[in-house]
Amino acid sequence: PEAACTSTQFHVQTSPDQFAEYWNASQAIASIQVALAANAPYLLGKELWRETRIPLFEQATDTRSEELKEQGVRPRVWFGERWITSIFDLFEENVRYFPALLPITEDEDPLAVLDAGGIPQLHELRLHNGTVYRWNRPIYDVVAGAPHVRVENRVLAAGPTVVDTLANAAFYFGLVRALAEDDRPLWSQMSFSAAEENFHVGARDGIDAQVYWPGVGQVAATELTLRRLLPQAREGLVSWGVQTEEVDRLLGIIEGRCLTGRNGASWYRDQVRAHQDAGADRAEALRLTLLEYRTRMHSNEPVHTW
């Protein structure tokens, strides 16, 4: 199952003071990300959710008995349960809710390292954090002698093409910055449970998803993106210093998906159904569609143009 759940992972480095804003923003928009970029509608020959990776990963790693679930024991793959005010909220949850899977310790004394003017590696914290599979994971790391924190955004499948993946990245990095730096945070206007429900609706329904959004109510993910989120993503990319030509090219792909109603999952579903309508059985329809997918993937033409 692990191989079927692999993802595209975007990392956004922040200051410790801004981490909460970027993590909260990433949680709030996860539903839109997965709705627009869904690309996994089949598993073992069955047509399931538009982004089947999400429930597959949640279920495949969930070893809790029904009794433990009723007792409130958290799953190791989870969306979370609250907005945060600091990265420490997440690391504290890791310790409080999840026992260590790997009893490995290092000789480093972090406080002694700090007192000596050094930078602690925090091996145990990083190892344990790697066994808690949040859809947006907090990261502490030391690179070239410099410590930093970042958000690891883990919600998306890859593809269908390289340029589609780049468009997904542009949409995420632009939108998350715009929302994180907004004067009135989006997450102050919606409950965390609404964001979580949106996330699973986006994974289930893909580009046809209807989500709840503050100030709008129930709205199609595509309409919300066209009217509100693409302008915000554009603003965020400009703030990052991305050239206008690249902004137009990559966000134009997201716009194209919204206007055509076509992403990887919807294209794959439609092709499989077309082959079945032409007389192929499910297995043959999936095989033929995969061959077409592979050819089109190498063309690097965005999926909404297929």
Across the range 120-133, mean pLDDT stands at 92
pLDDT at res. 120:
92
Across the range 85-90, mean pLDDT stands at 97
* Phi, psi of 156, rounded to the nearest 5 degrees: -100, 145
Q: Which of 12, 305, 11 is nearest to 164 (CA)?
A: 305
C-alpha angle 138-187-74 in degrees, rounded to nearest 5: 50
Q: 102: pLDDT confidence band, cut at 50, 70 and 90?
A: confident
Position with higher pLDDT, 194 vs 63: 194
DSSP state of 145: T
Token pair for residue 175?
């939108």
DSSP secondary structure letters along 184-245: S-GGGSS-HHHHHHHHHHHHHHGGG-EEEETTTEEEEHHHHIIIIIHHHHHHHHHHHT--HH
Across the range 29-36, mean pLDDT stands at 98
For the chain, the domains span 2-305
Mean pLDDT of the chain: 95
pLDDT over 80 (residue 2): no
pLDDT in tens, 242-252: 999 999 999 99
pLDDT at res. 101:
87
pLDDT at res. 104:
87
d(CA 30, CA 135): 8
* Phi, psi of 154, rounded to the nearest 5 degrees: -120, 15
Across the range 56-71, mean pLDDT stands at 91
Does domain 2-305 match CATH 3.40.920.10?
no
